[in-house]
Amino acid sequence: MTEFQELTIARHLTQRLHELSVSEGFGIVGDYVLKFVGTLHEAGMPVLNTTDEQGAGFAADAYARVRGFGMVVCTYGVGGLKLANATANAWSERVPLLVVSGAPGISERENDPMLHHRVKDFDTQLRVFQDLTCAQAVLGNAHAAADEIDRVMACMVSEQRPGYLEVPRDMVTQVIAPPESSLHVHVPPVDEAALRHAVGDVMAHLRDASTAVIHAGAMVERRKLSKALYRLATTSGIPVASSSLARGVFPERHELGLGVYLGALSPEHVVRRVEDADVLLSLGVLQTDLTLGAFTAHIDHERYILATDTDVTVGYSTYRDVPLWAFIPALADALDGESISVGHSPLPTHENFVPSDDACTVSDVVHAIEIHLDERHSLLLDPGEALFSAVDMRVPTYAHASAYYATMGYAVPAALGVGKADPDRRPVVVVGDGAFVMTGLEAAACAYNGVPAIIVVLDNSGYGTQRPIMDGPFNDIPAIAVERLPEAFGTGCGFDVRTRAELDDALHEAVDSDELCILRVHLPKDGRSAALERLGEALRARA
């Protein structure tokens, strides 16, 4: 911002977003936010169009997972309330997603008029987002607007949760007072004495162990601790299994990589490495039902070290105010130069994919994608078979998913966010046909915004993940020839895949292309991935 420009909400917000490495937002305009989006654009913060507000929210959420912060912009009522689900996803999975909504002007609200998009009263939308965000502000005061923006954004980064700003449209062009200070972000506090004792306790356990495993979770990524984790693992020689919310936080194809641990859904050789280890270091894992394989994880708490965002528990002793951001580097420092006798043998790599005229299975798709993907790609997994079957894959870089909140339709719009946040990697989406019909038109938004995603649609004629639980016509959906959508969009390539050979050819062509590609892979209606079969066996055994 140049010196002669007067400060406005858009200019101050843009400056703060740039400080947090955000270069674009996502959203859909409406009359209550139209002028504000225009002022954001003038200030250097473009808002990229999607086909729906929920898709914009998922795109901004995925952008935040890569860059550390994301913004979605919407109009009042009809736009904001459609973002409630995406914001709930961000809250559940600890993502700093900023929702910025236009709103009726302060002067327009006099005498309580019945303005369009209004629900009950003018604060209804605000009250909804008070339950979904860590901080909120209505920017109706020119003297306080900048400080309110800073308060909300600082809280979001500190807590790694979504936040909410509401901009009355008669405030858009008003000059606002400068903030009282720079953006100050607080991280969870550390008790240095407790940190020393926690590290000492963990070191004592590691010295006595012959096997150990790290289970790395989402908060490692959120707190930007990937490099510290890598140093910890490689210094000690301790292998790393990732949580389904943190795939790629440690390179799965590294000799110390074990892939993903998801309780009984994971391959047996991964389960045994994790659950039989003398010491299991859980670092930043959100302890949820889905991230622990519907609670099929069998972990001996005598050998369990649980490091959360704020505390460390070793066995039955808890060290308060020992946050993850301090604990991982301190433990890596303690291990540096000390020899511990932790054994590990690298996992074997998968064999090459063999094309044939046999019909495709879910396992074939997982195997083929693993063979064709490399460090040039990122992976987006939608809840259901796309997410669960991928536990048999060791991803080349990172993979993002709504792996706890499990909102269907996340992955296709998330490809837009990831593609913009990390333009050096091409997004590859794996999504079921049921989820694709919810948000599949965001594939057009990807192409329109210069993100040539590869989208693999697992077409098993409906909600295949639900069928083993209870089947019926409620799991059936209309068949859609999704491979023809590029023709409708006027850009890209589509592939209709039925055999292993067709799958191999389609992936070869898609990876070599530089445009949007949609692969419709026909699968048996009653087919199951190996992961779902393992989960079913584990749940039946428990029952």
Task: Give residue 2's pLDDT.
Answer: 47
For residues 320 and 515, what is the distance between their CA atoms, to the nearest angstrom? 51
**pLDDT greater than 60 at residue 542:** no
For residues 274 and 263, what is the distance between their CA atoms, to the nearest angstrom? 9
For residues 259 and 537, what is the distance between their CA atoms, to the nearest angstrom? 21
Two tokens at 315? 């066995």
Looking at the structure, do residues 250 and 317 belong to the same domain, yes or no?
A: yes
The answer to whether residue 346 sits within a structural domain is no
Residue range 442-465: mean pLDDT, rounded: 93
Candidates 428, 479, 485; CA nearest to 454 is 428
CA triplet 139, 162, 86: central angle to 5 degrees?
110
For residues 214 and 249, what is the distance between their CA atoms, to the nearest angstrom? 12
Looking at the structure, do residues 295 and 438 belong to the same domain, yes or no?
A: no
Residue range 342-365: mean pLDDT, rounded: 88
Task: Give residue 529's pLDDT.
Answer: 83
- Which range of residues forms the domain containing residue 291? 192-335
Q: Would you place residue 346 in the very low, low, confident or very high pLDDT band (cuts 50, 70, 90)?
A: confident
The answer to whether residue 440 sits within a structural domain is yes
Domain-terminating residue out of 300, 335, 370:
335
Residue range 435-458: mean pLDDT, rounded: 97
Cross-strand pairs, 307: 283, 312
Residue 459 sits at φ, ψ, to 5 deg, of: -95, 95
- CATH number, residue 263: 3.40.50.1220
**pLDDT greater than 70 at residue 1:** no
The answer to whether residue 541 sits within a structural domain is no
The answer to whether residue 177 sits within a structural domain is no
The answer to whether residue 111 sits within a structural domain is yes
Which residues of 302-344 form beta strands (DSSP E)? 304-307, 312-314, 317-319
The answer to whether residue 117 sits within a structural domain is yes
Task: Give residue 539's pLDDT.
Answer: 58
Q: Would you place residue 538 in the very low, low, confident or very high pLDDT band (cuts 50, 70, 90)?
A: low
Looking at the structure, do residues 522 and 414 belong to the same domain, yes or no?
A: yes
Structural domains in the chain (count): 3
Looking at the structure, do residues 366 and 503 belong to the same domain, yes or no?
A: yes
The answer to whether residue 354 sits within a structural domain is no
Q: What is the 3-state secondary structure (H, E, C) of 343-394?
A: CCCCCCCCCCCCCCCCECCHHHHHHHHHHHCCCCEEEEECCCHHHHHHHHCC
Looking at the structure, do residues 141 and 24 belong to the same domain, yes or no?
A: yes
Give per-residue pLDDT as tens, 501-515. Answer: 999 999 999 999 999
Looking at the structure, do residues 242 and 117 belong to the same domain, yes or no?
A: no
Looking at the structure, do residues 56 and 163 belong to the same domain, yes or no?
A: yes
The answer to whether residue 351 sits within a structural domain is no
Looking at the structure, do residues 531 and 492 belong to the same domain, yes or no?
A: yes
Residue range 106-132: mean pLDDT, rounded: 91
For tokens 């191999």, the residue is: 504
Looking at the structure, do residues 278 and 158 belong to the same domain, yes or no?
A: no
Task: Give residue 541's pLDDT.
Answer: 65
- CATH number, residue 152: 3.40.50.970
**pLDDT greater than 90 at residue 528:** no
CA triplet 423, 424, 425: central angle to 5 degrees?
90
Task: Give residue 168's pLDDT.
Answer: 97
For tokens 């860590």, the residue is: 134
Give per-residue pLDDT as tens, 245-304. Answer: 999 999 999 999 999 999 989 999 999 999 999 999 999 999 998 888 888 888 888 899
For every residue of 33-64, DSSP letters joined together read THHHHHHHHHHT--EEE-SSHHHHHHHHHHHH
Residue range 217-222: mean pLDDT, rounded: 97
For residues 222 and 205, what is the distance between their CA atoms, to the nearest angstrom? 27
**How many of the other CB atoms lie within 10 Å of CB of 399?**
28
Task: Give residue 307's pLDDT.
Answer: 98
Indicate the range of 216-225, 339-348, 438-447 predicted with least confidence.
Answer: 339-348
Domain-terminating residue out of 335, 354, 372:
335
Residue range 456-480: mean pLDDT, rounded: 84
**How many of the other CB atoms lie within 10 Å of CB of 308?**
21
CA triplet 19, 8, 82: central angle to 5 degrees?
75
**pLDDT greater than 50 at residue 56:** yes
Task: Give residue 167's pLDDT.
Answer: 97
Looking at the structure, do residues 323 and 253 belong to the same domain, yes or no?
A: yes
Give per-residue pLDDT as tens, 163-209. Answer: 999 999 999 999 999 999 899 888 999 999 999 999 999 999 999 99
Task: Give residue 345's pLDDT.
Answer: 85
Looking at the structure, do residues 410 and 524 belong to the same domain, yes or no?
A: yes
State percent of the chain over pLDDT 70.
Answer: 98
Q: Are strands 163-168 and 212-216 parallel, antiparallel or unpaired?
A: unpaired
Cross-strand pairs, 14: none
**pLDDT greater than 80 at residue 327:** yes
Mean pLDDT value across the chain: 93
Task: Give residue 4's pLDDT.
Answer: 55
Q: Would you place residue 113 in the very low, low, confident or very high pLDDT band (cuts 50, 70, 90)?
A: confident
**pLDDT greater than 70 at residue 357:** yes
Q: Would you place residue 466 in the very low, low, confident or very high pLDDT band (cuts 50, 70, 90)?
A: confident
**pLDDT greater than 90 at residue 79:** yes
Helix/strand/coil percent split, the chain, to 5: 40, 15, 45
State percent of the chain over pLDDT 90.
Answer: 79
Do the beta carbons of residue 22 and residue 47 sit within 8 Å? no
Task: Give residue 146's pLDDT.
Answer: 98
Which is higher by pLDDT, 523 or 468?
Answer: 523
Looking at the structure, do residues 427 and 524 belong to the same domain, yes or no?
A: yes
